[in-house]
Amino acid sequence: MKYVDGFVIPVLTSKLPAYRQMARMGARVWKKHGALAYFECVGDDLDPKMYPNFVGVKFPRIAKAGPDETVVISFIVYKSRDHRDRVNAKVMADPVMNDPKYKDKPMPFDVKRMAYGGFKVLVEA
């Protein structure tokens, strides 16, 4: 059964270019070590009018995004949870992830505000 790691991240719109650069590097490394798919998606329609009676929580609120921030959702797809664990171990040992030039480089978002979890696929179409 496929397995997905999912993330919700508020990102300053001014930092989106740096985030994209980091995400492209991440995509290369995760795919190199066996991830089936890697997505980084930036908010576009975060106050949809399509559902006028919507009473749930919109992404900017759930991510506590400020007026100068947008929301990024990301997900990485694996064959299974065990496969995810093996891939992530390889990713963390990859020389790119341990390159000294990135060691003290600040992340282009507030790591403390990132939400993360692993998910079993319930339905796949």
Output the tens digit of pLDDT for each of the chain's 125 residues: 999 999 999 999 999 999 999 999 999 999 999 999 999 999 998 887 777 777 778 899 999 999 999 999 999 999 999 999 999 999 999 998 888 887 778 889 999 999 999 999 999 99
Q: What is the CATH number of the domain that holds 105?
A: 3.30.70.100
Residue 59 lies in a domain: yes
Q: What is the pLDDT of residue 91?
A: 97
Residue 81: which domain range? 3-46+55-120
Residue 125 lies in a domain: no
Q: What global pTM score does this model have?
A: 0.90
Assign residue 23 a region (left: φ > 0; alpha: ψ between -120 and 50; beta: otherwise): alpha
Split into its structural domains, the chain has a count of: 1
